[in-house]
Structure 1
Amino acid sequence: MRVETNLLWVAEAAYPLRNITRVHTFTLKPKRMEAFLSFLKWLAVTAVAVLVIGAVSRETSSYGEDDSSGAIAVGAVVAIVLVIQLVKELGAPSQHVLEVETAGASTAMVTLPDPVQLRRLLQSLVHAIEHPEVEFQMRVERVLVNPKNYHFGDNVNMYGGMNNVGVSK
């Protein structure tokens, strides 16, 4: 990340300093409870699928034999994959993030392991916005997120066109 000639560079992306509307730090935390609930949901779906396949295979067997061992094996593999995914999501660390928002739809997010160093970077960036002649460079990590999974501000749904006075929460 570097600031030079009125531009903020984050990797290959350039943001004009005059278009930056907000710079702030926060802690990006994994959605552990949602991961656990998703694990339970998919484990239940897998268990029901194995039971249904086992019941269907018993009914269609010509000699009343139980031929559901294949379904049980597939169910066990799916359960192991679900447990591995759960452990990975529960073990994901929280990250200290600096977010840069622009007047348009662009958002840049970078991270550092030390929150104090991240706040210093925030102060340097704010100083560069206020003093366009300032230039600096700092090594940071990028955070790759899907914006659909995060809520950045208020969502306002307006119906009708009269007497709209604010946001109802």
Structure 2
Amino acid sequence: MTTTESKGFPENAPPLPDRPPRLVSNIDLQVSKRLLWVGRAAYPLQNIARVHTFTLHPKRKEATVRFLKNVAITLTAAIALTVIGGATSLSNESVGGGIITFVWIGALAALIAFTVQLLSVLTAASHYVLSIETSGPSTAVVTSTNPHHLDQLVGRISHAIENPGTEFQVTVESIMVNPKSYYFGDNVNMYGGTGNVGMASR
């Protein structure tokens, strides 16, 4: 999830999960007593600065450029070290050969890792999302395969902000994506987790 989790829960808070977390799992999005709950994270409605929808696109261009730069740097370093190893082999053939072998094994491993990173972004799907931003640094993001559901949810949350007595609850699905691989529109500070952002699908 993209926000710091609340440690104290009122009686009407969504129940804690009784199963280990999965890549995809059901969570509750609930408005109750001036609080917006997204799973176990609570947001005071008066602290919500903006609720809006946008399409979350993978950073394919940046990933490709980063891949090419990494490949160029890796190959340049490998070639330079090979030259150094070749010079060393003139005096000690076993040492020089060992250095060259180690360098190219490391370079190959790095190239494989760079390729995996690139493919993970190139094959990532776009998501139409609803973003809930607070006056502080916290942000929650939910998504749906049906954009109309998110548009309706924007209206319901906005209505709850303007009308303190409003309460509602919907069930969504939580998924995990890497925020470094996506455009998030405006600059967003992500809190909670280790490099992941919580997403929800209706």
Common fold, TM-score beyond 0.5? yes
Counterpart-to-counterpart distance in 2, 1:58 and 1:106: 54
Could you tell me which residue of structure 2 aligns to residue 88 of structure 1? 120
Counterpart-to-counterpart distance in 1, 2:151 and 2:185: 22
Cα root mean square deviation, aligned: 2.4
Shift of 1:142: 6.2
Shift of 1:4: 0.7
Kindly provide the amino acid, as one letter, of the partner of residue 54 in structure 1: T
SS state at 1:104 partner? coil
- Partner residue of 2:152 out of 120, 144, 148: 120
For structure 2, the 5+ residue unaligned runs are 1-28, 188-202
Structure having the higher strand fraction is 2
Shift of 1:98: 1.0
Does the 8 Å contact 1:109/1:143 carry over to 2?
A: no
Runs of 4 or more above 4 Å deviation: 63-66
- Partner residue of 1:152 out of 182, 186, 192: 186
Could you tell me which residue of structure 1 aligns to residue 162 of structure 2? 130
Could you tell me which residue of structure 1 aligns to residue 141 of structure 2? 109
Moved more, 128-137 or 47-56: 128-137
SS state at 1:134 partner? coil
Kindly provide the amino acid, as one letter, of the partner of residue 95 in structure 1: H
Shift of 1:152: 2.8
Counterpart-to-counterpart distance in 2, 1:131 and 1:142: 30
Please tell me whether Structure 1 or Structure 2 has the larger radius of gyration of its CA atoms. Answer: 1
Relative to the length of structure 2, the TM-score reads 0.66
Matches within 5 A, 1:72-83: 72-83=104-115
Say which structure, 1 or 2, has more relative contact order (CA 8 Å, 6+ apart): 2
Residue 64 to residue 19, structure 1, CA distance change in 2 (3 Å): closer
Moved more, 99-108 or 119-128: 99-108
Counterpart-to-counterpart distance in 2, 1:8 and 1:143: 20
Does the 8 Å contact 1:53/1:71 carry over to 2?
A: yes
Kindly provide the amino acid, as one letter, of the partner of residue 28 in structure 1: L
Q: Does 1:21 align with 2:42?
A: no
Shift of 1:151: 6.1
Residue 18 to residue 70, structure 1, CA distance change in 2 (3 Å): closer
Identity %, equivalent residues: 40
Kindly provide the amino acid, as one letter, of the partner of residue 122 in structure 2: L
The alignment covers a number of residue pairs equal to 151
Q: Does 1:56 align with 2:88?
A: no
**1:107-149 Cα distance to aligned partner (Å, 9 max, x none):** 2222223212111211221222222222111223366647xx8
For structure 1, the 5+ residue unaligned runs are 154-169
Could you tell me which residue of structure 2 aligns to residue 160 of structure 1? none
Shift of 1:102: 2.3
Counterpart-to-counterpart distance in 2, 1:96 and 1:15: 22
